[in-house]
Amino acid sequence: MSEAYGLIGHPLGHSMSPFLHKALFALGGKDASYRLLDLAPETMEQQVREMTGYLGWNVTIPYKERIIPLLDRLDPSAARYNAVNCVRREPDGTLTGYNTDCTGFLHAVRDFSLGGRVLLLGCGGAGRMMATEAAMAGAQLTIGVRNPEKPELTALAAHLREAYPAAGVQLLPFGEISGDFDLLLNSTPVGMFPHTAGCPVPDAVIRRCGAVFDAIYNPKQTRLMELARQAGIPTAGGMDMLVQQAACAQEIWYGAQFSEADLAALTRQAQAQLARQEAHP
């Protein structure tokens, strides 16, 4: 009997996750299905409790934090960031939350300087993970947000300063970002399809950065990345991160193992699939 897995979030719209997971199931020789589960905020908790037929699922915006009280335990990968993007139903029925975004993120920025002067845009579930990884690497970290006075943000900054004293952490409104940075990390949805004209910061900020990573994977090249490339700044987009975190999820769910060559090929296939979808919406 086919095993059931899926992705919960709201609104989901178009997602590459079914394409990726079906390809990974095929590589792993696994008979399984993967469905998009768009859960309305007002009924999300009850709907998750009713997902007894699913052996695991991914979690995306806006539920990476909200799902935590519904779980029985957190793996250290999720507890470190207080954000969950992968859930496994254990054989006894208990639910364990994991974070595989970190695996994908670290792979995607492997050629950049995460421990230097880092500008992080946004600080939701994925942003907190990026902030933590940068602080762990000893970065001088500036976090650009709409409201730096929000209690959860000031608490995060205080925690990072205490836990990683070699790092420097400051919170700033987007409009007050200044200075030079080795790496810009975008964890906001600004520029995501279908609102592809958006850019989270002005060109003047981008040009003071040594490299740019945008966690958005659709479009392949966001406006942020386009402006960076025009200035001769190296960039990386979110598809590599997405593929790597999906592979990590399947390792958690049923012990799958994939080669780097297979995952690199899947990243290329996913980019081609995305291009086809953009050409024929």
What pLDDT, in 10s, does the model give residues 204-251? Answer: 999 999 999 999 998 999 999 999 999 999 999 999 999 999 999 999
Give the per-residue pLDDT at 61.
Answer: 85
**Whether 240 contacts 267, CB under 8 Å:** yes
Assess contact for 9 and 38: CB atoms under 8 A.
Answer: yes
Pairing state of beta strands 95-98 and 86-89?
Answer: antiparallel
Q: Residue 64 catalytic?
A: yes
pLDDT at 193: 86
If one counts every other C-beta atom within 10 angstroms of the C-beta of residue 218, the result is: 21
The rounded mean pLDDT for the chain is 95
pLDDT (0 to 100) of residue 14 = 77
- Burial (0-12, 13-18, 19+ Cβ within 10 Å), 210: middle
Give 14-41 pLDDT, tens digit per residue: 789 999 999 999 999 999 999 999 999 9
pLDDT at 13: 76
Residues 203 and 242: their CA atoms lie apart, in Å, by 26
Residue 2's pLDDT band, with cuts at 50, 70 and 90, is confident
Residues 154, 176: Cα–Cα separation, whole Å: 17
Instruction: For residue 154, give every residue at least 6 positions away whose Cβ sits within 8 Å of its Cβ, in sequence order, or none.
Output: 148, 171
Contacts of 271 (CB under 8 A, 6+ apart): 220, 239
pLDDT tens by residue, 103-118? 999 999 999 999 999 9
Q: Tell me, what's the pLDDT at 70?
A: 98
* Per-residue pLDDT at 161: 97
pTM of the model: 0.91
Percent of the chain with pLDDT over 90: 90
Tens of pLDDT, residues 133-178: 999 999 999 999 999 999 999 999 999 999 999 999 999 999 999 9
Please report which confidence band the pLDDT of residue 280 belongs to, taking 50, 70 and 90 as the band edges.
low
Catalytic residue among 22, 30, 64, 220: 64
The predicted structure's pLDDT at residue 8 = 98
Residue 126: the pLDDT is 87
